[in-house]
Amino acid sequence: MRCRALIARLAAGTPLLLDGATGTELERRGARTRLPLWSAHALLDDPALVGRIHRDYVEAGAELVTANTFRTQARTLARGGIAHRARELTGLAVDLARAAADTAGGGRRVWVAGSMPPLEDCYRPERVPDDGALAAEHAEHAGHLAEAGADLLLVETMNTIREAFAAALAARATGLPTWVSFVCESPPPSHPAARAAPPPPPRLLSGELLADALAALAPLEPLLVGVNCLPPAAADAALAVLAAAGRPFGVYANLGAPNDETGFTRSDACTPDEFAAHACRWRDAGARAVGGCCGTGPDHIRAIAAATQRGSR
């Protein structure tokens, strides 16, 4: 029933408003986030903090909160010696998100997405495992998320077509709605003499064309496709390709850059209102879901909520 309501919500009214980052918000609030466990540390150290962050996003207006399962796959947890806790920690993360979603007042409905990221490094496509590992490990993680009660499986920050397809196939096998989102290269700065030329087509970090990635996923009929964890300008550059793919799409950009210690360095170069202006452009280009990724927080989601409501009047 929740899945049917989510599908109906995506088809109607203003774009579905997502939450912002969990990992960088944990870091901003003083939590331990060093790699490789990154945001999963908080499930061990301070699950109440994870719950507060989810609730802050709900209060800011988010209609979809993503459970803190970005690093609860057995492969990552094995690096901390706790691979055997993958099902437990995934379930805890979904429970925390669900409890926060249920605090929404005024009859407002909030759904829970289960994050399914790359098995290795989001920004290192050369580290994607072999096909057998992709199939088995994404199936295990998708199964844990479905068992825990996620409403949607969010295959996110995919940097290759091969892993995106394997993860989406595993997600689809659970019977839950699936959203597949890619991370793309930032467009190079345009030289004044070349500005009349058409911009280069958006590409995944693997170098593969975003258009080819969307075409490869089409047979699986994901509920949504999209881009995430890329700068707002790079998200803007992907809009035409997303719109041409013929499927509902979503966009949630980042603010900052990855690093090798805490996973990501936040940037305050874009204010919440400026970020909301980008979200309005995504909406105007046809996006059915908008929100924030690494580096964004509740203030950014609150600003998007206010801006998109103004634009719907």
Highest mean pLDDT among 1-15, 153-167, 198-212: 153-167
Kind plus residue range of the DSSP H or E element containing 114:
strand 111-116
Which of the four pLDDT bands, split at 50, 70 and 90, describes residue 313? very low
Give the tens place of pLDDT for each residue, 54-69. Answer: 999 999 999 999 999 9
Q: Per-residue pLDDT for 144 more than 60?
A: yes
Residue 194 has pLDDT above 50, yes or no: no
Question: Which residues, including other chains, have CB under 8 Å from residue 235's CB and lie 6 or more apart?
Answer: 227, 251, 253, 278, 282
DSSP-based three-state secondary structure for 305: helix
The answer, yes or no, to whether residue 154 has pLDDT greater than 50, is yes
SS (H, E, C) 227-294: EECCCHHHHHHHHHHHHHCCCCEEEEECCEEECCCCCEEECCCCCHHHHHHHHHHHHHCCCCEEEECC
Mean pLDDT, residues 253-275 taken together: 82
Confidence (pLDDT) at 187: 75
| Per-residue confidence (pLDDT) for residue 188, from 0 to 100 | 67
- Identify the band that residue 285 occupies on the pLDDT scale cut at 50, 70 and 90: very high
Q: What is the pLDDT of residues 164-173, one digit of tens each?
A: 999 999 999 9
pTM to 2 decimal places: 0.94
Tell me what the pLDDT averaged over the chain comes to: 93
pLDDT category of residue 197 using cuts at 50, 70 and 90: low
CATH class of 2-185+201-311: alpha beta
Look up residue 209 and give its two tokens. 């064309």
Tokens of 15: 């774009």
Please choose, from the candidates 91, 116, 105, 256, the residue with its C-alpha nearest in 3D space to the C-alpha of residue 177.
Answer: 116
- Other Cβ atoms closer than 10 A to 11: 9
